[in-house]
Chain A
Amino acid sequence: MNKRLLHTALRNISRNKRRTILSATAIAVAAMSIVMLFALITGMTNDMAYNLKNYYTGNIQIQHEDYAEFERFNPIHLMVDWEDVKPALEDIEGISAVVARTQFPVSLYIDETNHGAIGVGVDFADEAAYHDVENIVYEGRLPEDGKNEIIMGGTLAHDLKLEIGDRVTMLSTTASRGTNAITMEIVGIASFPVTNMNSAVFWIPLDRAQYFLRMDTGVQSVLIKTDEDVKEKRLIPIIEEALLKETGTTFAVDSWKDINMMFSLLKLAQNVYYFVGIFFFLLGSTVIINTTMMVIFERMREIGTLSALGMHGKELVRLFFLEGVVIATIGSFIGVTFGVVITEILGRVGIDFTDAMSGMDFEISSILYPEVNIPLSIFVFFYSVLIASLASMIPSKKAAKIEPVEALRYI
Chain B
Amino acid sequence: MKFLITFAFKNLTRYKRRTLITAGAIAVGIMMYIFIDAMLMGAEYESVRNLKWYETASARILNDEYWENRQQLPLDLSISDPDKIIDRLDENGIIATKRISIGGDLILSSQEFGEDGNLPVTVTAIDPSTDNEVFHYADTLIEGRFLEQDEDAALIGSWFAEDIGAKIGSWVTVLARGNGGFYEAIDLEIVGILNCPNPNVNRTLLMIPFDTADYYLAMDGAATEINIKLSDLADVDAELPAIQELLNGDDLTVMSWTAMARDYLALAEAKRGGTGMILFLIFIIAAVGISNTMLMAIFERVRELGMMRSLGMSDAKIRIAFMLEAAGIGLLGSIMGVILGIVADFFIINVGIDFSFIMRDMDIGYRIQGIFRGAWNPGTIVIAFFAGILISTLVAYLPTNRALKMDIPSCLRHQ
Residues of chain A lying within 8 A (CB to CB) of residue B360: 264
Closest-by-CB residue of A relative to B301 is A411
Partner among A199, A264, A287, A291 whose Cβ is within 8 Å of the Cβ of B263: A199
CA distance A279 to B29 in the complex (A): 11
Chain B nearest CB from A190 CB (Å) reads 15
User: Within 8 Å CB of B69, what residues of A?
Assistant: 113
Within 8 A of B (CB), among A100-126: 113-116
Residue pair A290, B21 in contact (C-beta under 8 Å): yes
Q: Specify which chain A residues have a CB less than 8 angstroms from the CB of B277 in the assembled complex.
A: 40, 351, 368
Question: A260–B297 Cα gap in the complex (Å)?
Answer: 54
- Among B40, B43, B296, the one with the most A-chain Cβ atoms within 10 Å of its Cβ is B296
Check A261–B361 contact: CB distance below 8 A: yes
Nearest CB on A from B378, distance (A): 20
Interchain CB contact under 8 A, A280 and B285: yes
Does B25 make an interface contact (CB < 8 A)? yes
Which A127-163 residues sit within 8 Å CB-CB of chain B? 155
Q: A268-B355, A275-B353 are in contact. Are A283 and B285 (CB under 8 A)?
A: yes
Per-residue interface assignment for chain B, residues 335 to 362, with 1 indicating a CB less than 8 Å from any chain A CB and 0 otherwise: 0000000000000000001010011111
Is A297 located at the chain interface by the 8 A CB criterion? Answer: yes
Contact between A195 and B266, CB atoms less than 8 A apart: yes
A293 at the interface (CB under 8 A from B): yes
Q: Are A33 and B284 in touch, CB under 8 angstroms?
A: yes
CB-nearest residue of chain A to B263: A199
> In the complex the two chains form, is B292's CB within 8 Å of A40's CB?
no
| Residues A1-45 near B (CB distance < 8 A) | 16, 18-19, 22-23, 25-26, 29-30, 33, 36-37, 40, 44
CB distance from B244 to the nearest CB of A (A): 22
**Chain B residues positioned under 8 Å from A271 (CB to CB):** 355, 358
B119 pairs with A72, CB closer than 8 A: yes
Across-interface contacts of B281 in A (CB, < 8 A): 33, 36-37, 40, 280
Assembled-state Cα–Cα distance A265/B415 (Å): 56
- B216 adjacent to chain A (CB < 8 Å): no
Q: Which of B88-96, B129-137, B217-225, B267-275 contacts A (4 or more CB under 8 A)?
A: B267-275
B299–A19 touching, CB < 8 Å: yes
**Contact in complex: A291, B266 (CB < 8 Å):** no
Pair B282/A353 contact, Cβ less than 8 Å? no
B296 touches A261 (CB 8 A): no
- CA of A359 to CA of B353, assembled, Å: 33
Minimum Cβ distance to chain B for residue A201 (Å): 13
A286 touching B296, Cβ below 8 Å: no
Q: Does A282 contact B (CB under 8 A)?
A: yes
With A195-B266, A366-B273 in contact, do A276 and B32 touch (Cβ < 8 Å)?
A: no
Task: Please classify how large the interface on chain A is, using the bins under 10, 10 to 19, 20 to 34, 35 or more.
Answer: 35 or more
Q: Are A37 and B273 in contact (CB under 8 A)?
A: no
A309 at the B interface (CB under 8 A): no
Contact of B284 among A29, A262, A282 (CB under 8 A): A29
Q: Does A84 contact B (CB under 8 A)?
A: no
Is B317 among interface residues, defined by CB-CB distance under 8 A?
A: no
Known A-B contacts A40-B278, A294-B297; A353 and B270 likewise in contact (beta carbons under 8 Å): yes
Q: Is B255 an interface residue (CB 8 A)?
A: no
Q: Judge whether A295 is part of the interface by a CB distance below 8 angstroms.
A: yes
How many angstroms between the C-alpha atoms of A196 and B366 in the bound complex? 11
B270 and A261 contacting across the interface, CB-CB below 8 Å: no
In the assembled complex, the Cα of A22 lies from the Cα of B293 at a distance in Å of 9
| Partner of B362 from A264, A282, A359 at Cβ < 8 Å | A264
Question: Whole-angstrom distance between the alpha carbons of A283 and B43 in the complex?
Answer: 21
Residue A401 lies at the interface, judged by CB distance under 8 Å to chain B: no
Residue of B nearest to A294 (CB): B296
Q: How many B residues touch the partner, as a band? A: 35 or more
On whether the beta carbons of A261 and B363 are closer than 8 Å, the reply is yes
* Contact for B17 among A33, A113, A297, CB less than 8 A: A297
**Docked complex Cα distance between A351 and B277 (Å):** 9
Q: Identify the closest chain A residue to B284 (Cβ).
A: A33
Nearest A residue to B399 via CB reads A18
Q: Which residues of A contact B276 (CB under 8 A)?
A: 356
Contact with B along A241-265 (1 / 0, CB 8 A): 0000000000000000000111011
Q: A368 touching B296 by the CB < 8 A rule?
A: no
Q: Cβ of A364 < 8 Å from any Cβ of B?
A: yes
> By DSSP majority rule, is chain A's interface helix, strand, loop, or mixed?
helix
Kindly state the separation between the CA atoms of A66 and B49 in the bound complex, as whole angstroms: 39
Closest to A33 in B: B285
**CA of A280 to CA of B362 in the docked complex: distance in angstroms?**
29
> Considering the complex, which residues of chain B in the window 11-66 have a beta carbon less than 8 Å from any beta carbon of chain A?
15, 17-18, 21-22, 24-25, 28-29, 32, 35-36, 39-40, 43
Do A279 and B36 touch across chains, with their CB atoms under 8 A apart?
yes
B300 touches A298 (CB 8 A): yes
- B365 in the interface (beta carbon within 8 A): yes
Task: Give 1 or 0 for each of A349-378: 1 = CB within 8 Å of chain B CB.
Answer: 001010011011000101010000000000
Pair A297/B36 contact, Cβ less than 8 Å? no
The minimal Cβ–Cβ distance linking B338 to chain A, given in whole angstroms, is 16
Query: Assuming A26-B289, A283-B29, A286-B25, is B18 touching A297 (CB within 8 A)?
Result: yes
Known pairs A36-B281, A280-B282; A294 contacts B21 (CB<8 A):
yes
Closest to B289 in A: A287
A284 sits at the interface (CB 8 A) = yes
Q: Is B408 interfacial (CB 8 A cutoff)?
A: no
**B274 interface neighbour in A287, A297, A357, A368, Cβ under 8 Å:** A368
Residue B238 interfacial (CB < 8 Å): no
Contacts of B359 in A (CB 8 A): 264, 268
Min CB gap A149→B, angstroms: 26
Is the CB of B193 closer than 8 A to any CB of chain A? Answer: no
Q: B240 an interface residue at 8 Å Cβ cutoff?
A: no
Given A72-B119, A199-B263, A268-B359, decide whether A283 and B269 contact each other with a Cβ distance below 8 A.
Answer: no
- B71 on interface, CB distance cutoff 8 Å: yes
Contact status A264-B266, CB under 8 Å: no
Q: Which of A264, A284, A290 contacts B361 (CB 8 A)?
A: A264
Q: Is the CB of B358 within 8 A of A267?
A: yes
**B397 CB–A CB distance under 8 Å:** no
Known: A33-B281, A40-B281, A155-B266. A293 touches B355 (CB 8 A): no
* B285 A30 Cβ-Cβ under 8 A: yes
In the complex, chain A residues whose CB is within 8 Å of the CB of B29: 283, 286-287
Chain B contacts for A113, CB-based, 8 A? 68-69
Residues from chain A with a CB closer than 8 A to the CB of B15 are 411
Task: Point out the residue from B17, B119, B263 that lies within 8 Å of A195, measured CB to CB.
Answer: B263
Q: Is B228 an interface residue (CB 8 A)?
A: no
Residues of the B chain whose Cβ atoms lie less than 8 Å from the Cβ of A37: 278, 281
27 example contacts (A-B, Cβ-Cβ < 8 A) are as follows A16-B415, A22-B299, A29-B284, A33-B282, A33-B284, A40-B281, A114-B71, A115-B71, A261-B361, A264-B361, A265-B362, A265-B364, A268-B358, A279-B32, A280-B281, A283-B286, A287-B285, A287-B289, A290-B292, A291-B289, A293-B21, A294-B21, A294-B300, A295-B296, A356-B272, A360-B266, A364-B266
Besides the contacts A33-B285, A261-B362, A272-B368, what 5 more A-B pairs have beta carbons closer than 8 Å? A29-B285, A196-B263, A271-B358, A286-B28, A353-B274
The 8 lowest CB-CB distance pairs between A and B, nearest first, are: A353-B273, A287-B289, A29-B288, A261-B362, A290-B25, A283-B32, A26-B292, A286-B28
